[in-house]
């Protein structure tokens, strides 16, 4: 389990979508390390999600792995229903499920658009809706954007747009949810060492250069810190936004990009 200096989430219940791998798995571990019971949402990697739940339970956390495709709002609703049935309350949503996409304008299909937006945008909106419906004052919703929402990258339009919409969503939903004492923010990670970065990282280069410089070396040039983030470093941002330390912070997107330029 991640070593942390305080238990800001003791007694809280957190739902983490995309918890089977990468950033979401690190977020689930971090929130558990801070004292929360966690629901680990997954889509395809059942074994990894159940293994993580078993590891967290061995450390004394109350953890549960549940399958839900966030592209389907009915499955999202079922995820929250099962979480409520098991733990009786929901205090935190960390919405980490997401999919990458690279494609030139002439190659983008309506099916590509629908899939990317169904997961990255619609999926996060309905996760926030289903979580907020069950939260009391003090509830914390943390969605996932990307540094890509505010940076131009060749052939990255669909993904970037799907994440820019998330930043607009948290800004506007903060007004609705604030009167109920619920905050909603987003984390915008930069390049982070996960399966997604390994599979798609080369896309961040200009098409003529793709394949010439792996993402870690590319970030040595373009990042102030000169390296990829580790998922645990990104998870620390979610834990902050999920905690009382961020009580007066809402509607914002926290960039965790290592000083990308
Ligand atoms: N890695 C980066 O450099 C980076 C940078 C900026 C933003 N982000 C964002 O950070 C988040 C996590 O990225 P990552 O790098 O950890 O990705 P990853 O390694 O590819 O893992 C993706 C996670 O999302 C889940 N997922 C995908 N589609 C889903 C669906 N339809 N329903 C439910 N779960 C689904 C996967 O579940 P299964 O494995 O169970 O299928 C997996 O847990 C994403 O929103 C991504 O856009 C990542």
Q: Active site includes 162?
A: no
- Please indicate whether residue 40, judged by its CB atom, sits closer than 6 Å to ligand 1: no
In this prediction, residue 217 carries a pLDDT of 78
Whose CA is closest to atom 45 on ligand 1?
98
- Across the chain, which has 261 residues, the per-10-residue mean pLDDT values are 74 98 98 98 98 96 97 98 98 98 97 98 98 98 97 95 98 98 98 92 81 77 90 98 98 95 71
Q: What is the token pair recorded at 103?
A: 């494609």
Model's pTM, two decimal places?
Answer: 0.97
Of all protein residues, the one whose alpha carbon is nearest to atom 32 of ligand 1 is 69
pLDDT of residue 43: 98
DSSP string, 153-220: -TT-HHHHHHHHHHHHHHHHHHHHHHTTT-EEEEEEE-SBSSHHHHHHGGGGS-GGGTTSS-HHHHHH
Angle at 62 between CA 64 and CA 33, to 5 degrees: 110
pLDDT of 173 reads: 98
Ligand 1: distance of its center to the CA of 15 in Å?
Answer: 15
Give 195-248 pLDDT, tens digit per residue. 999 888 888 888 887 777 777 777 777 889 999 999 999 999 999 999 999 999
Taking the centre of ligand 1 as the mean of its atom positions, its distance from the CA of residue 241, in whole angstroms, is: 19
User: Given this model, what pLDDT does residue 5 score?
Assistant: 55
Taking residue 59's Cβ as centre, other Cβ atoms within 10 Å add up to 12
Q: Looking at residue 3, what is its pLDDT?
A: 57
Domains of the chain and CATH, by start: 13-192+229-255 (3.40.50.720)
Which residue's alpha carbon is nearest to atom 39 within ligand 1?
45
Spatial distance between the Cα atoms of 164 and 259, rounded to a whole number of angstroms: 19
Look up 12 and say whether it is catalytic: no
Residue with tokens 């902050």: 240
> Which of 72, 98, 167 for a ligand 1 pocket mutation test, highest count of atoms within 8 Å of Cβ?
98
């Amino acid at each position: 389990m991640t070593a942390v200096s305080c238990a800001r989430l003791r007694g809280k219940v957190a739902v983490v979508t995309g918890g089977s791998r990468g950033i979401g798995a690190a977020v689930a571990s971090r929130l558990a390390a801070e004292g929360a019971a966690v629901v680990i949402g997954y889509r395809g990697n059942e074994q990894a999600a159940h293994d993580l739940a078993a590891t967290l339970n061995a450390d004394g956390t109350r953890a549960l792995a549940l399958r839900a495709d966030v592209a389907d709002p009915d499955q999202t609703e079922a995820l929250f229903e099962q979480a409520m049935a098991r733990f009786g309350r929901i205090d935190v949503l960390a919405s980490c499920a997401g999919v990458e996409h690279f494609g030139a304008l002439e190659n983008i299909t309506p099916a590509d658009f629908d899939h990317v937006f169904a997961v990255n945008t619609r999926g996060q909106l309905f996760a926030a809706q289903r979580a907020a419906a069950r939260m009391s004052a003090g509830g914390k919703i943390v969605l996932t954007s990307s540094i890509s929402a505010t940076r131009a990258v060749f052939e990255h339009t669909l993904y970037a747009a799907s994440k820019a919409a998330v930043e607009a969503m948290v800004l506007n939903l903060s007004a609705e949810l604030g009167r109920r004492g619920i905050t909603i923010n987003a984390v915008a990670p930069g390049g982070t060492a996960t399966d997604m970065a390994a599979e798609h990282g080369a896309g961040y280069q200009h098409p003529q250069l793709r394949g010439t410089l792996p993402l870690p070396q590319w970030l040595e040039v373009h990042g102030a810190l000169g390296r990829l983030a580790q998922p645990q470093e990104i998870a620390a941002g979610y834990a902050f936004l999920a905690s009382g330390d961020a009580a007066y912070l809402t509607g914002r997107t926290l960039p965790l990009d290592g000083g990308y330029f």
